[in-house]
Copies of this chain bind each other. A is one copy, B any other.
Amino acid sequence: MLTKDEMDRVFAALSHSSRRDMLDLVRDKPGLSVGELASNFDVTRIAVMNHLKVLEEARLIVSERDGRSRRLYLNAVPIQAIYERWTDKFSAHWLDRMSLIKSAAEAAGKDTERTDE
């Protein structure tokens, strides 16, 4: 279980699409270096490092030094915690109420580009 503060950091980290992309890349190439990671983005290496810092402070990415480079890895623990938050706290209720919610959505005409997804 994460503290409220850790939860804040994880959600803040996930709120930027480049950072979500970074998680995808590190997942696909565990042990990727900072430079290799940065080469996948249009922004500067420094911008990527700033994002990396946010991800590391949220503990979504962990790293180990390897000579003059640094190897990056995904850390699943915070994601597991979020998964548990949603499933335990939300989904258990939400699933029970799915039909109510869906009908409410349709009645409100807010969900109308596609009435069925």
Residue in contact with A94 in the complex, picked from B27, B102, B108, CB distance below 8 Å: B27
Q: Which residues of B contact A97 (CB under 8 A)?
A: 30, 74, 76
Interface of chain A: mostly helix, strand, loop or mixed: helix
Per a CB cutoff under 8 Å, which of B76, B101, B110 touches A101? Answer: B76
Given A83-B86, A104-B62, the answer on whether A75 and B30 have CB atoms closer than 8 Å is: no
Complex CA distance for A82 and B84, rounded to whole angstroms: 13
As for how many copies of this chain the complex holds, the number is 2
Q: Which residues of B contact A98 (CB under 8 A)?
A: 76
With A30-B97, A94-B27, A110-B62 as contacts: A104 and B73 at CB distance below 8 Å: yes
Using a CB–CB distance below 8 Å, which chain A residues touch chain B?
Answer: 4, 7-8, 11-12, 14-15, 17, 20, 23-24, 27, 30-31, 56, 59, 62-65, 71, 73-77, 79-80, 83, 86-87, 89-91, 93-95, 97-98, 100-102, 104-105, 107-108, 110-111, 117
